Amino acid sequence: MTDYSEEQRNELEALESIYPDSFTVLSENPISFTITVTSEAGENDETVQTTLKFTYGEKYPDEMPRYEIFSQENLEDNDVSDILKLLELQAEENLGMVMIFTLVSAVQEKLNEIVDQIKTRREEEKKQKEKEAEEAERQCFHGTPVTIENFLSWKAKFDAELLEIKRKRMKEEEQAGKNKLSGKQLFETDHNLDTSDIQFLEEAGNSVEVDESLFQEMDDLELDDEEDDPDFNPVDLESD
């Protein structure tokens, strides 16, 4: 007769030794415990993780243990579903033998695969973005191929825009001509113009300075006096 209790106790001791930092007993009756499984570090040290909960039945290992995903980090819903299917498959294949280590090892490998898939997916997304960027740059450089249809469409739009610019310019020039005043109109409109010179002189007042050095005394001027010339003869002037 199989002693299920002894087999279960022996496996618990072995699991606690193998997973000292991630093994936790939840209850003694029924025996229930958790084991946290973490993938190897992927790109940028990213990992995925799940905590598996196992509960022994009375006849384990001749019957499958109950199992569930107790918690998880960075796993998608489809990843969780795949792990549960994997556990079911492994439990069926190892029925009749203590199997928790085998189940946990299978999940460990699955998590490593998921990390690799994440890395591959990101590389593909990066390549796709680079390809899209290159295509956008190529389109920008080469432009759109010219056809008769798109040229006529562009020309019609261009002519319409040019006509609108001309209309605005003519309207602005017309408006500017109406608002421009003649000299007479400016004089009649601004009455300060006819008094501006007088006002300037009045404001200047005695502030106008004269440089007297620019002028000489009449006595200092050397003027030729013809009468003082001994050779002067008025008759000569009359004969001239």
Q: How buried is 231 (Cβ within 10 angstroms: 0-12 exposed, 13-18 middle, 19+ buried)?
A: exposed
Q: How buried is 18 (Cβ within 10 angstroms: 0-12 exposed, 13-18 middle, 19+ buried)?
A: middle
Q: Domain residues of the chain, as ranges?
A: 4-119
Fill in the amino acid letter for 94: N
Residues in CB range of 104: below 8 A, 6 or more apart: 19, 35, 37, 52
Q: What are the angstrom distances between the C-alpha of 88 and each of 47, 65, 98, 106, 125?
A: 24, 10, 15, 11, 33
- CATH superfamily for 4-119 is Ubiquitin Conjugating Enzyme (3.10.110.10)
Q: Are 71 and 51 in contact (CB under 8 A)?
A: yes
Residue 131 is predicted with a pLDDT of 84
C-alpha closest to that of 33 among 63, 72, 65: 65
Q: Are 15 and 35 in contact (CB under 8 A)?
A: yes
Residue 42: strand, helix, or coil? coil
Residue 63 is predicted with a pLDDT of 95
Residue 101 is predicted with a pLDDT of 97
Q: Are 100 and 7 in contact (CB under 8 A)?
A: no
Residue 181 is predicted with a pLDDT of 61
Residue 31: strand, helix, or coil? strand
Residue 26 is predicted with a pLDDT of 95
Return per-residue pLDDT of the chain as tens, 240 residues: 678 999 999 999 999 999 999 999 999 999 999 999 999 876 666 789 999 999 999 999 999 999 999 999 989 999 999 999 999 999 999 999 999 999 999 999 999 999 888 888 888 888 888 888 887 777 776 666 778 888 888 889 999 999 999 999 888 888 877 666 666 666 666 556 556 555 655 665 555 565 566 555 555 555 555 555 556 565 555 555
